[in-house]
Chains A and B, each alone.
Chain A
Amino acid sequence: MGVLKNIAILVLVGLGFSAFGQRPGQQLGNQVASKARATTMQDERNEPKEPRDFRPSMVKLSYDFIPLGATLFSENRSGQAFQASMDFDQYFFAVEYGTQKTNRGETFDYHNQGWYWTMGPEVNFLKSNTKGHSLTFGLRYGQSRFSDWIYFVPNDNFFGNYPVFEANDELRARWMEMTVGLNAKVWKNLYMGYTVRYKIFRTVKGIDGFAPYDVPGFGPYEDNTGVQFNYYVGWAFQWREKFPAPEVTPK
């Protein structure tokens, strides 16, 4: 208790010294500066806010080069993916469509093919960037429809080796995504950038007696969450200036 009291006294004394330690002129200067800051903030508050302009200025059509890379260089996977996004003030609304085909297995033959789409809003943290760059965070809802089949011969010690063929003709999946994207305007209306997605809340309907291995647009079925990287190259079809140059009144 006594120690605490001593510490409290020391702190109070220290604060007192620091207050007295300031020169009278410095104290006056601090007061003037804080008054000036308050006045500026007051003025800013009184200034009429510039109205937000939610009218869209462009549609950006992009192509995902990651599935293209898989199509060209992977024997087991192929697909295409496109994205369209429209701006509303500092927000975007994005829609994506893609197809995917996979072949898997060393001890089995598994084939999966289908299509998917996702859509959702994005917010651009670089809202005043007049060059058109964007750093976005977004939420997406995704769905896919697909079918798959598997063929293999199980090594059954009791019933012997017999061929197994199982198929899912019509599967439907849905999930949610959180996205972070960085997009840059590189030349005229040409944009390049990447998106990283974290996928959650995956559900699949239509499974009979065979759980699918892949879910197009999501990833492996056994993983309840997924991470995906996309690299987009796109062109913006712009019909008006988002940040028009201020009008200069001739004197």
Chain B
Amino acid sequence: MRTGFVIVIGVWLLISCQEIKDCDLESSRDSAIVRFYSIDTVENEREVAITQIDVFNFTDTSLRGDTISSIGLPLQSQTEQITYQFTMDTLEYLLTLEYTPHLRIYYDDCVPVYSYKLDTAYSEEFDSVVVVNKVLDLAVPTNLEVYF
């Protein structure tokens, strides 16, 4: 009876100590979430009609234009700075993001994952750019606030 109890406890402990090896548990995001605001009414998000979004120094990389109030700007792991060009009507706005990529391997079976920390962001065309959260994570709704 006692031996059986010890064996059950042992097996239970062994199972409990096993790690949950789930590749989908990773929560980092590879794009910075940008929200647009009007400089006059900062409380409300601003919907903007964007014709096209291009990436400087990267060919064949552009995001489809749309009327949006927020957008995720993808970051590239092999560089630490990226500049996006927003075309709105005939005007062009540049937004530069500087960041630190960090590579991790969680398990043998999982694809290595880059996580990013947003260091700074700036633009000469937009009125103001504020980094509100440096961590790019699925739980973070906004990384950058852009006012114009």
Contacts and interface: CB of A to CB of B under 8 A. Distances in A.
Interface stretch (B4-12, B42-50, B73-81, B90-98): B73-81
Contact of B102 (A105, A108, A110, A211): A211
Nearest to A107: B111
B65 interface: no
A213 B112 CA distance: 10
A43 interface: no
- For chain A, give the interface size range: 20 to 34
B66 to A, nearest CB: 16
A164 B77 contact: yes
Contacts of B107: 222
Query: Range of interface residues on chain B?
Result: 20 to 34
Contacts of B77: 154, 164
A239 interface: no
B108 A105 contact: yes
Contacts, number: 57
B104 A211 contact: yes
Nearest to B104: A211
Nearest to B110: A107
Interface in A100-158: 104-108, 110, 150, 152, 154-156, 158
A107 to B, nearest CB: 5
Interface of A: 104-108, 110, 150, 152, 154-156, 158-160, 162, 164, 166, 209-211, 213, 222-223
